[in-house]
Amino acid sequence: MHTAVLIPGDGIGPEVTDAMRRVLSAAGAQINWIERHAGVAALERGGDSVLPADTMNAILEHGVAIKGPCTTPIGGGFASINVALRKKLNLYGAVRPVRSVKGVATRYEDVDLIVVRENTEGLYSGIENIITEGVITSLKVATDEACRRIARFAFTYAVSRGRKKVTAFHKANIMKLSDGLFIRCAKEEHERGGFASKVQYEEMIIDAACMRIVQNPSQFDVILCENLYGDLISDLCAGLVGGLGVTPGANFGDKHALFEAVHGSAPDIAGQNKANPLAVIMSAVMMLRHLAAKRNDQSAAKVADRVRDAYNVALVAGEKTRDLGGSLGTCEFADAVIARLK
């Protein structure tokens, strides 16, 4: 039996995470769920913080969590819950697998890449200052330690997954110091860390890289980015395979891991049984594989395979939610996946 913290999130979050729990339970996953809250949901329960201490303490204790989407106010209000969790738990390595899914119509059929994103610094460090009226600066932070750490993570992850190439996206031709440090550290870690014989490394200026992704995504394997670039590139790549509804996400640190649906909380359709729970189900599959590897539990890996196979068969059969061209609601899609398990 494994213990994992569940943060349902806001908006459609409780619906999609409930669907995920039902699917995992039907597949035989041995998970003891510890439910905690963050964001608007925490405030609505009478809390005075969007990231309560009991939520943080639960993740620190159990080491693994999965969350639904949490609302982030635009242009004001409280700071991003996602950013806060990554910083407090030192979840420096974000992983976004992007793969073509049979049964989901897109212009590409052979996309199979992974975006690895540095999660703790860059422009998302949140250091902004008002210089004078009408003039604001945002500070982009890059440290040698974090740049080397994410490079080692990307190379190690690529090797462990049998990948052949890591491409670092950058803008070092303009941001010569910050992005220059990023690619210099990546190159040095590749050469000195014992990775050169195991995985190829290349660098690409990010604007040209975006054009090449759209032209032919199959030329990429693992993409390594600093924080802001990784945020943008991962969503761009999701668009190649059908959108955020079919792309899972995970955030790794040395001691903790947080898995999440990376789409928004969609408050406009909350409570209407319209949301697609596939992304959080896929993220749960990633969580099961993490537990299997970390705790040497092959039963968790087998459950992950069962769930993956079940939603793949359901999608090919046309059992899809409305955003993917089908007619099923949130609950009905979960029911379809559960039926395919049997």
Per-residue pLDDT for the chain (342 aa), expressed as one digit of tens each? 899 999 999 999 999 999 999 999 999 999 999 999 987 778 777 776 788 899 999 999 999 999 999 876 665 555 678 888 888 899 999 999 999 999 898 888 889 999 999 999 999 888 889 999 899 999 999 999 999 999 999 999 999 999 999 999 999 999 999 999 999 999 999 999 899 999 999 999 999 999 999 999 999 999 999 999 999 999 999 999 999 999 999 999 999 999 998 888 888 998 999 999 999 999 999 999 999 988 787 899 999 999 999 999 999 999 999 999 999 999 999 999 999 997
| Correct CATH for 1-91+250-342 of 3.40.190.10, 2.60.120.560, 1.10.1240.10, 3.40.718.10 | 3.40.718.10
Distance of alpha carbon 179 from the chain centroid: 23
Check the CA dihedral 158-159-165-170 and report its sign: positive
Instruction: Check: CB of residue 66 under 8 Å from CB of residue 36.
Output: no
Tokens of 256: 């903790």
Q: Regarding beta strands 248-252 and 257-261, do their DSSP bridges make them parallel or antiparallel, or are they unpaired?
A: antiparallel
Separation of alpha carbons 108 and 217, rounded Å: 8
Separation of alpha carbons 295 and 304, rounded Å: 15
Residue found under tokens 């070092």: 172
Separation of alpha carbons 191 and 260, rounded Å: 33
- For residue 140, the 8-state DSSP code is P
* Single-letter code of the amino acid located at 89: L
**Per-residue model confidence (pLDDT) at position 161:** 94
Rounded to a whole number, what is the distance in angstroms from the first to the last CA of the chain?
22
Instruction: Check: CB of residue 90 under 8 Å from CB of residue 146.
Output: no
Instruction: Check: CB of residue 278 under 8 Å from CB of residue 268.
Output: no
Q: Per 3-state DSSP, what percentage of the chain is helix, strand, and coil (rounded to 5)? A: 45, 20, 35
How much is the pTM? Answer: 0.92
Judged by DSSP in three states, 289 sits in helix
**Per-residue model confidence (pLDDT) at position 78:** 59
**Per-residue model confidence (pLDDT) at position 45:** 79
| Whole-number Cα distances in Å, 303 to 256, 279, 286, 300 | 22, 17, 11, 5
Any idea which residues carry the catalytic annotation? 124, 171, 207, 231
**Per-residue model confidence (pLDDT) at position 195:** 96
Q: Which regions of the chain carry the CATH code 3.40.718.10?
A: 1-91+250-342, 107-241
Sequence-separated (6 or more) residues with CB below 8 Å from residue 224? 116, 150, 151, 154, 166, 167, 168, 169, 186
Separation of alpha carbons 193 and 176, rounded Å: 24
**Per-residue model confidence (pLDDT) at position 215:** 95
Q: Where are the beta strands (DSSP E) in the chain?
A: 2-7, 31-35, 64-67, 93-99, 112-118, 128-132, 135-138, 165-170, 200-205, 222-225, 248-252, 257-261
**Per-residue model confidence (pLDDT) at position 282:** 97
Q: Which of 305, 306, 250, 311 is nearest to 278 (CA)?
A: 311
| Whole-number Cα distances in Å, 69 to 56, 153, 193 | 17, 25, 36
Domain covering 107-241 assigned CATH 3.40.50.1860 in the classification: no
Q: Enumerate the β-bridge partners of residue 122.
A: 141
